[in-house]
Amino acid sequence: MPEPHFDHSYARLGNQFYSEQPLVPVHHPELLLWNTALASKLDWPGDPRSDRELLLALAGNNYLPDSKPISTVYAGHQFGQYNPQLGDGRAILLGEWITRSENRFDIQLKGSGPTPYSRGGDGRSPIGPVIREYLVSEAMHALGVPTSRALAAISSGETVVRNRIEPGAILTRVASSHLRIGTVQYFAMTRGGEGLVELVDYALNRHFSKRKITGQQPIVENLSSSGNNAGSFTIGCERSDPTAAEILLKAVGESLADLVSRWQLLGFVHGVLNTDNALLCGETIDYGPCAFMDQFDAKACFSSIDRQGRYAWPNQPGIMHWNLAVLAECLIPLIDEKTETAKSIAQSIVDRFPNQFHQHHQERLAAKFGLDRISDQDLALIQKFHDLMNKHQLDFTLSFRWLAEEANQTIDHSPLPEIFNTPDALLDWSALWKARRAENKGDTKTITQAMLSVNPAVIPRNHLVQAAIDLAESGDINFLRSSTERWRKPFDWQEKDSEWARSPSTEEKVTRTFCGT
C-alpha cells in the first residue's frame, strides 16, 4: 500500500490552466482549529498542535514535501454578468493529496496572499470568513450534505483591512476538486475552446469515470458522510456512444440537482451561487455570505451583496438550473459535430434538471414528514404546514424536529417544550398529518425512527456562528471549539441544548452576512 503523498495531475494539463504560486509567509501564525477526524480520513502525517513545522506549512510559510503551489484560473457569471477571468485570487492549491487507499483530494490554502488573479486585492482573509467556512462546512458534512471541508484554521498574526481593521486567518480547505462550471467557461468562452477537450476529459475521468457511470465502485471517495453524491450515481446516456462532454453534462446536472435539494430542506441559503461557485463534483463550496434560516421565511436572503435577492432561498433550484444551462452552452461544440444535434442533446439534459430536483426533494421531504411517499393528495397538507410556519413565525428547524419528536413520542425527553411554542393551529393540523401517516405502506417503525436522522436538532445558527467569530477576534476561541464539537452530531440531543437549539432573540438575529473579500 503506497504512502500518502501529493500529486499534481491538474498541473500536468499545461500552464494555461494555472500560474505557479510562491508562498507569501505571515509573521505570527497560531493554530485556531485542527480537524483530527478529517486528518485521519486523509491519512495526514503530523499534527500542527505539536508540530510547529506543519503549522508553518499550513500557514503558507514553508513547503510541505512534494507540494507545488499553484493558483488556478477560471471565469464565471457573477450575479448574471460574465467575467472572462477570475481565478484563485486569495487561495493556492498545494496539490492533490493521495491517501493510502488512493483517493484524491485537493488541498488548498485560502487567505494565503496575493496571486496573479487577485485583481489588486491583498489575497488575505479576515478571521470571520475563515471561521464561518470551517464551522458551517463541517456542520454541513455532519448533516449529510456533499461539501468541501476544513482541515485547519490558522490565525495569521496580521491584520486585514476591509470595512474595518480585522485579524487575519488562513483556512486549509479540502475538496474532491476545485473544478467549477466557471473553469469550463474560461476555456470555452474566454479562450475560444483552447484546452476545453483536455479539461472535459480530465473532469470526467476524475469524477465520473466509466466505473462510476455503470454503478460500480467509485474511484474517488467523496468526503460527504451521506455517500449519496455525484460519484455514486448511475449515469444514463443520451446515445449508445456518447461523447465525454455529453456524459459530463448529465453527471453534473444530476449531482447539482441532488445537492440543491439538500440545501432547500435544511433552510440553507448559499448566498453567492455564481457559476464559479458551482463545483463539477457536486460539493458545496464558498461559505462566504451563507446562512440558515431561523424563523421560516419563504424569501430568505442574507447576503449583503445580493440586494435583489437573486440567490434567495426559493431561487436556488432555478439558479442552479441556469448554471447548468451555461455549462451546456460551453459543451455544445464537444457533444456532437453537428451543432443542431448537439444543441438538442444538451437541451434535453438541461430540461431534466427540474424533474431531477423535484424527485430528490420529494423523496427527502417525505422522509422529513415521516411519509412513505408524497402523492398529489399530500401537497395541500404539506403546504398548510408551511403556511402555519409562516403565519406563526415558527422556527424552520425546530418545526420539523417537532414532527420527528411527536411521531416518536419523545418530546418530553427533549428540550423542545422549553424552546418551541406549539400553536393550537399546528396541533389541529397534526391530527390530519397523523391520519395520513396511518396510511403509510412499509415498515412504520423504520419510517418513524428515520425522521430523527433527517430532521436535525441543532444547526449552525447565524447568531452562534457570529458569536464564535466575535469571541475569536478578541482572542477567545473556547466557544469556537465547543461549537465545532457540538455541530458534529446535529441529530442527537445533548446537555444544555436549550441554548444550542433555540431560535435567536430579536437582539441576537443576524440578518446580513458578508463574503470577506
Please count the CA atoms within 13 angstroms of the CA of 290 that sit on its side-chain side: 31
Tell me whether residue 276 is one of the annotated catalytic residues.
Answer: yes
- Cα–Cα distance measured from residue 314 to residue 357, given in angstroms and rounded to the nearest whole number: 13
88, 122, 258, 276: the active-site residue: 276
CA torsion through residues 211, 196, 74, 360, sign = negative
Q: What is the DSSP letter of 295?
A: B
- Asked if residue 504 lies in contact with residue 463, where contact means CB atoms within 8 angstroms, the answer is yes
Whether the CB-CB separation of 293 and 389 falls below 8 Å is answered with: no
**The residue type at 274:** N
Would you tell me how many other CB atoms lie within 10 Å of the CB of residue 463?
16
Positive or negative: CA dihedral 419, 423, 429, 431: positive
Lookup: cell for 345: 442533446
DSSP-derived letter for residue 218 is: -
CA distance readout (Å), 30 to 26, 50, 124, 268: 10, 12, 16, 31
152, 48 in Cβ contact below 8 A?
yes
Cβ neighbour number for residue 444 with a 10 Å cutoff: 14
As annotated, the active-site residues are 276
